[in-house]
Every structure is written in structure tokens, then in C-alpha cells.
Amino acid sequence: MPYLWQKNGVDGIYSDDPRTNKDAIMYKEIKCSDIIAQGLKVMDLTAVEMLKNQDIDVRVFNMSKSENFRKVASGEDVGTTIMKG
């Protein structure tokens, strides 16, 4: 099971802030190196660097929607998965 991370009430990781840019695209999966290269403000960059070479997936999803916990726990594809690399 992946680690869980809430991102400011949005549904996952986007190419830009979806609250201010209606054209922002949500990623279903993204590598740590892509987060760094694109300068995405997902979490502290030191944390992203540390995850880059680990076999740990981190799931970013909207924790304000209580049904998302059940969905993630049952393996449904909710939010964005941050993968090593």
C-alpha cells in the first residue's frame, strides 16, 4: 500500500494549480525526477529527492472526501501516484 499525502484539497498532482488555472492537467502517475524537473510544488523537494531512489510509492489524493480513504484502501485508482525514478 502506498504512503498517503494530502495536497491542499485538490484531487492529486496537477501540471499547475487547478484552483487558479482551469487548464491544469492532473497526473495519474508521475516520477520523482519529473516533479523536480517541472518544479511542481507537491512537497518539500528534499523529500522528493529522498524518495527518488526508494521502492516507495506515495499516493496524493483529496483527503477531504472521506470516501477516498475507502477507495484507496480497496485499491481503486484515486489521485496521483508518485513513483521512484
Write down the domain spans for the chain.
3-83
| pLDDT beyond 80 at 4 | no
Place of cell 484552483: 19
> What is the rounded CA–CA span in Å between residue 69 and residue 15?
24
User: Any idea which fold 3-83 has?
Assistant: Carbamate kinase (3.40.1160)
User: What predicted TM-score, i.e. pTM, was given to this entire model?
Assistant: 0.82
What integer is the mean pLDDT of 62-81? Answer: 91
Exposed, middle or buried: residue 20 (CB in 10 Å: 0-12, 13-18, 19+)?
exposed
Mean pLDDT over 31-45 rounds to 90
Average pLDDT over residues 59-81: 90
Q: What is the pLDDT of residue 81?
A: 94
Mean pLDDT, residues 23-45: 92
* Residue 74 CA from chain centroid, whole number: 18
**Residues 2 and 58: beta-carbon distance below 8 Å:** yes
Given CA atoms 18, 30, 67, 2 in this order, what sign does their dihedral have? negative
